[in-house]
Structure 1
């Protein structure tokens, strides 16, 4: 990604690089000849100078480089193995290669794309949790959200309506417990559109910044805002996991397993989710509030964008893992409602999960199951009901 974005910047013709050198870099990219680049060492001042210097180092035939043919080896050897020559830099070209923010932007682009994917799937997972906890759908009525018409909030409410009990899709679980529904559910259930919605709006805002940055000559994007926003998906998910596991709140077996005195069920899985959420709270401290003067006080106010990008990506991964645990827990909770069925879209989610993870009859090694659920979310499988079963209104 970093090399592709650097080529995109240089191709605009604002960086003082020859067409011959640019074509040579493109040939290296097409051959997947990739320089070794340490992830640390940039303050995001004039740009990602240290990482981009390592990028250029490989292209001039020095340092380490990787390709599918050679694996890791000496950069000159890797280039020669693909019939390529090391760059011979002309005036200004060294500066052109190392002055930019493409490490920040490439990590940021991945964080945004993964955040978009997990935000869509978080709505489906939360809807399934609401269903197995016998929640009411009244809080998602379109008229309710029209009086507070934040775009993300309205979109999330629509997603909930698309998969929960309605005139289009019926749920045997909702129908059975409708006479006993509470007037209102706890915040973690009924306020999901408000919380998830803000996350959606935040991601859209950051995506616009990253898209502009990717197609600019150079600048410094900060990703602290994305980390803070997307963290909320995990924070509210952990609260829903607690409700699923707590028999006094769920009216389900303790920790979602029979013979709770012998089996711990989802107790440790919830602890894992809580640990990830707690770690995110530290990672969400904005790196951009810190600045150290560098370059003999010429770059005396810097963005720390490299660290912001790396920790934003880590926060997104933690969010994915917490929601994977909630998905496992919600599907397990659904087992206790059988033979009743939920709506067709949510049944599809349950079947998808059961294709890779079997129900819990007793305790077992849970790590592989969490990894399998996380893989489904990374592949965006949990959002398929939104495309397979779409309703309007």
Structure 2
């Protein structure tokens, strides 16, 4: 399932959970026929409860609801949470559930990392935002800075097709229509959905990034949470800077996971040598996966630029040609740089490098190649399990 560029779309940028959650919940409350949701995490917290309440309202109107969560990423949902939704007719699915081994989650690789919401086949959301308190930076210090888009137009049909295909591939549902409604043109944005899986679309998202980097003429601005890119992306970013493109990276300065900054910072010296500007966002953990090129191209979605996202996980990004959205993202990210970022200097990047350089070299090449060997393992065939009112993500399953 390879998607094409679609004209006649409209995109609205949603910054952080404070904008994203009310928008999504209102769409769910307005649903008339169908709601499809894919997410890495649902927490049983204030956000998860608000999601549940909106879904229960929709289920009471006989709206068909399919919710798919990841078996590794999803937190410990109580039996009451699962049963209340299932008893109301909500179909809940867990991607690749597996028991723990000595209390440790064993299904680390090939995760369902996509964040997709489609309502009535008319409006869709693509983001990096999970359903949890930690996407509310306005309320919590460790709330994550992140982004999504609400889209309307013909591209919504492709997003729905992708969500439907996952359910049908694993035979999790029956009677889910191929096409729900027509999606007439509503705007000027040209969009293309790209997914990453472990079958036919292993490099689709990476290829779109590479095309944008290679053809950029004036600027590239990338804000990415877990930046440990492939050899190809690393090389093309350096090539772009050498030919005069202004390349700017916004990366984690207050990481939610310490290793994220350690891996990214191991590349700073090499990138800075070629004139690439690097800023670390300090106010909150950065969880965004957003980028722009020149004055028109943009992408928003779930894919980090690291080995897990580029080589193993199921991901979804929208690639958008829309000058107004590009400008909005540019203005926002420049404002973020000016207000909340620290610029990395060559001196700072080289500090302690004499002893870190050999470790960095080994770590980079090992981590860049390790997903290939993991992908060769035949024993791990992810599956989708549908929960009933008597089942749950239990304490002996991955949380």
TM-score range normalised by the length of the shorter chain: under 0.3
**Which protein shows a greater Rg?**
1
Of Structure 1 and Structure 2, the greater helix share is in 1
Determine which structure has the larger strand proportion and give its number.
2
TM-score (norm 1): 0.25
TM-score if structure 2 supplies the norm length? 0.25
